């Protein structure tokens, strides 16, 4: 008899209008939402398979954060991992990622949590403001997985969440809560 799905809570954070909801809805419902309405906050569920284990994901799609309203108890209690999203077309949204991560670490009282850093909207290459090299450098600095994605073209959406599950599982398996390092996929 197969093992029951492992429950995992994921929180998607990032600046307003970086595509957090589009990314989440593309992953959960496999559709692209092209009308932008600022998200208040939504929660989604999806069962996925990673390395022959099923995971029951609860994904909290947060409202766009500014540096003062990034985290609350709902975003941290029981959370297994974080997707920090920026738009490759917005340098400001990329800079905000560092603040978001710092607040997560301060709130959790640790020096490492499972994170995947996602550069969204890679289909808008002509409007790029953040290079792939900058994404790689930040992911390596944080010792986390990182990836570029596009909710519009469905590029690397499933891979982004798969990387986050892998980061979460590294923490579960590591002694003392330390990670074995980050993976990356940049296309």
In tens digits, the chain (187 residues) has pLDDT values of: 677 899 999 999 999 999 999 999 999 999 998 766 665 668 899 999 999 999 999 999 987 655 545 555 555 678 999 999 999 999 999 999 999 999 899 888 899 999 999 999 999 999 999 999 999 999 999 999 999 999 999 999 999 999 999 999 988 776 344 334 455 555 5
In a domain, 1, yes or no: no
Calpha distance 187→184 (Å, rounded): 10
With beta carbons less than 8 A apart as the criterion, state whether 131 and 142 touch.
Answer: no
In a domain, 52, yes or no: yes
Is 9 in a helix, a strand, or coil? Answer: strand
pTM of the model: 0.88
**Residue numbers of the domain that contains 70:** 6-185
pLDDT of residue 101: 95
pLDDT of residue 45: 94
In a domain, 21, yes or no: yes
Residue 176 belongs to domain with CATH number: 3.40.50.300
Calpha distance 144→3 (Å, rounded): 28
């Amino acid at each position: 008899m197969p093992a029951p799905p492992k429950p995992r809570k994921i929180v998607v954070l990032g600046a307003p209008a970086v595509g957090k909801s589009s990314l989440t809805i593309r992953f959960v419902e496999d559709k692209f939402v092209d009308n932008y309405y600022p998200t208040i906050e939504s929660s989604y569920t999806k069962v996925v398979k990673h390395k022959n284990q099923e995971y029951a994901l609860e994904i909290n799609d947060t409202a766009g954060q500014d540096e003062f309203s990034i985290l609350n108890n709902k975003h941290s209690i029981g959370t297994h991992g974080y997707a920090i999203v920026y738009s490759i077309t917005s340098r400001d949204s990329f800079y905000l990622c560092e603040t978001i991560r710092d607040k997560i670490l301060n709130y959790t009282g640790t020096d490492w949590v499972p994170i995947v850093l996602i550069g969204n909207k890679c289909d808008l290459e002509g409007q790029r403001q953040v290079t792939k090299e900058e994404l790689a450098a930040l992911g390596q600095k944080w010792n986390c997985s990182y990836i570029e994605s596009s909710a519009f073209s469905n590029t690397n959406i499933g891979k982004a969440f798969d990387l986050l599950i892998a980061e979460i599982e590294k923490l579960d398996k590591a002694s003392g809560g330390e990670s074995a390092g980050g993976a990356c996929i940049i296309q």
